[in-house]
A and B are shown apart, each in its own frame.
Chain A
Amino acid sequence: MSLLADSTGGETVSARPRHHMVALVVENKAGVLARIAGLFSRRGFNIFSLAVAPTEDARFSRVSIVVDVESAPLQQILDQLDKLVNVVHISELHPDAAHEAELLLITVSAREEDRPALEAAIAHHGARLLEANERAVTALLAGDPAALDSFEEAVRPYGIVELQRTGRIALRKLGAAGDAP
């Protein structure tokens, strides 16, 4: 699972049609993440990204999984996940019906002569400069995954030293069809 390798193909990762956002509400019990990960592993399903954290209700956590659907039909993945006793609710969130967000931290090489252009790119994409020294800068960008892709591509020519993305999270849009958990 390499975001960098995928991105260098010129393809924006978040726009690939075989990726689907699966939103789960799970009971906040020990081992739940292992059950989900184990299910993906033994059924040969692929996780592209995964984000998990407690919700406003301490009994439940929300899990956002971007699944790679080339490996199995999406419905089969949903049905198998739904069989996990600790999975309380499961739905696929279509990009048009959901707010999606992701967080990116990136450290980029910054030679003296590149610095003005690099800082302009950071400002242009609405990223925040966290730290800079004579060799590199570190920036943060939160927002739409496609905007993160575009920022990542814009600074790539300067040389990415390190990068961490959180994976997508999503909530259903107000008024969007489907049963809200």
Chain B
Amino acid sequence: MELTGAQALIKSLEAQGVEVLFGLPGGAILPVYDPIIDSSIRHVLVRHEQGAGHAAEGYAQVTGRAGVAMVTSGPGATNVVTPLADAMMDSIPLVVITGQVASASIGTDAFQEVDTRGITMGVTKHNYLVTSADDISDVVAEAFHLATTGRPGPVLIDFPKDVANARTTWREPGPVDLPGYAPPSVPESAAVQAAAELIAAARRPVIYAGGGILKANATAALHRFVNLTGIPVVTTLMGRGAFPESDPRWLGMPGMHGSYTAVTAMQQADLLVALGTRFDDRVTGRVDAFAPRAKVIHVDIDRAELGKVRRPDVPMAADCRAAIDALCDALAPLGLGAERLAQWIATLEAWRERFPLTYDRDSGTGAVPGTVKPQFVLEELRRLTPPETVLVSGVGQHQMWAAQFWRFEEPRSWVNSGGLGTMGFAVPAALGAKVGRPDKMVWAVDGDGCFQMTAQELVTASAERIPVKVAILNNAYLGMVRQWQHMFYAERYSEVYLSPDLPDYVRWAEAMGCVAFRVSTPEEVEPTIEKANEVDDRPVVIDFRIDSMEQVYPMVPAGASNDDIVVHPSQSGLAR
């Protein structure tokens, strides 16, 4: 079958089962946009290429499948660099296709030419510059294989215009031939045995579960492991949803804004069972003071994570699910009794009772009575939405409040930018999540600063009838920066004020085709969320005017030991 390179590319995407492309055309990618008209693949036309990348990430996060974005060369490619870096940090499977100038023009500073492969080398798991139309089906098959296996990540295919226009003969992709790529799968039995011995001997163990659990589809395995061992669990920002948070064995989220119990449990632990997690600096605080008495079992499919930050006593380069299953099989015959952890569990319960997540429900320091507390908005949103709601967030204070005051019961119900901390992530990622799971309600919680970065994708959502819901926690500040200036720069607020009214978020949202509401008092919170929940044919935006001086507690100051966690002022006098 004779066809063009562009047709071969679209046919290859169809062969991979791609159902949606997020993209924006331009000169170099023009040939590929022609066969899209005849394709079964849905194309969502974004308003900025960054939106295409984040939408593909949101889609990937909720479906577990590769998200696909397609943009043109030059500025199209550079605009998608941020989502690539974001996906690299958070191990999100993406395949991004960029147009490129014709092969003969590469290196001549042609119009809209950039060295896309060079620019994106450091922010992709792998990337390709296609040089022959005959290679297309193999390259696409390799790209999807790399993006979705091992430690997932973004793969970019740079596609010169002449290759798109060239004639080729269609052939099914051959078996993937990657001699340098063999991600580990099952753990070594010696490591499993050593880990089982540490687990059986531990008296203050904690399971430190990360995003790798979700990527490995290991939530059921984790649950079995917890049932078998009775070991309490913390789930990281990227691992939320890996363990049901109504379960009493869930201690909360660790890290800079984690719960006191989760943070302190790790500090006091004699064993950390680290599963699909990477000892991020936001979790460890000062590394040499992190969990100082704990032995460490570290399971990760990326061998380079084992010992990168903390030297494990038992390293296990393996798929999380395979490793947990192997651990369960090794531990089951031992019949670990619950009483061995009784004292530890009692200690944890006491902390949980003394240091719950809390906030000033009436009027905190500097708060105007009757102002809306962001934590209250989150609590109400959780209460008033279906349990399986997908929550998406941007980056900053609102993200941490969302992480603190939402409860996730299911995997893939939380979408955020963890490692890169990409402001503006929420709106396009929510759009992608809703495309991936149209059956679920999708709420984005966004900050006013974040919203202004990518709000134009609500035009996309309106045009494409993607009914996402956005709660802007509008405190008129770049709130997290302001919080740091409050705590560490003597309240010298430099360049963080944004104004609550400029822009007018309600009128802006309406101009973008959304239904929009404003909430200025606590009494309006519930009825407005209910009104928003009823809208199912277009996006909805609520401008929540929140207490602008609210801080995120607890907090471990950057570079400090987790032992120096700063709790909410109302708890600061309590004995630890």
Contact = CB atoms under 8 A, between A and B. Distances in A.
Interface string B166-191: 00000000000011110000000000
B122 A26 contact: no
A88 interface: yes
B302 interface: yes
A31 interface: yes
A88 B304 contact: no
Contacts of B131: 30
A31 B117 contact: yes
Given A79-B303, A82-B303, A88 B179 contact: yes
Interface string A81-94: 01111111100000
A27 to B, nearest CB: 6
Contacts, number: 42
Interface in A17-65: 26-27, 30-31, 34-35, 38-39, 42
A76 B126 CA distance: 19
Given A35-B121, A42-B122, A26 B304 contact: no
Nearest to A83: B304
A76 B304 contact: yes
Nearest to A86: B180
A75 B180 contact: no
A61 to B, nearest CB: 12
Contacts of A85: 125-126, 146, 178, 180-181
B302 A83 contact: yes
Interface string A64-84: 000000000101100110111
Contacts of B180: 26-27, 84-89
Residue among A42, A79, A87 with the most chain B CB within 10 A?
A: A79
A27 B146 CA distance: 16
B118 interface: yes
Interface size class of A (residues with CB under 8 A): 20 to 34
A76 B308 contact: yes
A17 to B, nearest CB: 20
Given A38-B122, A85-B126, A27 B304 contact: no
B129 interface: yes
Nearest to A84: B180
Contacts of A35: 121
Interface string B90-129: 0000000000000000000000000001100110011001
A146 B208 CA distance: 49
B121 A31 contact: yes
A69 to B, nearest CB: 14
A79 B121 CA distance: 17
A130 to B, nearest CB: 36
Contacts of A83: 302, 304
Contacts of B178: 85
B91 to A, nearest CB: 12
A27 B121 contact: no
B307 interface: yes
B307 A34 contact: no
Interface in B177-213: 178-181
A38 B121 CA distance: 8
Contacts of B129: 30-31
A96 B172 CA distance: 49
B334 to A, nearest CB: 32
Given A26-B180, A38-B122, A86-B180, A80 B307 contact: no
A92 to B, nearest CB: 15
Contacts of A82: 303-304
Contact of B179 (A27, A75, A76, A79): A27
Interface string B288-321: 0000000000000011101110000000000000
13 contacts: A30-B131, A31-B117, A31-B129, A34-B121, A73-B307, A76-B308, A79-B303, A83-B304, A85-B178, A85-B180, A88-B179, A88-B180, A89-B180
Given A26-B180, A31-B121, A82-B303, 18 more contacts: A31-B117, A31-B118, A31-B129, A34-B121, A38-B121, A39-B122, A42-B122, A73-B307, A75-B307, A76-B304, A76-B307, A79-B304, A82-B304, A85-B125, A85-B146, A85-B178, A85-B180, A87-B180
Interface of B: 117-118, 121-122, 125-126, 129, 131, 146, 178-181, 302-304, 306-308
| A-B residue pairs, 9 tightest by C-beta | A79-B304, A88-B180, A85-B126, A88-B179, A87-B180, A79-B303, A80-B304, A85-B181, A42-B122
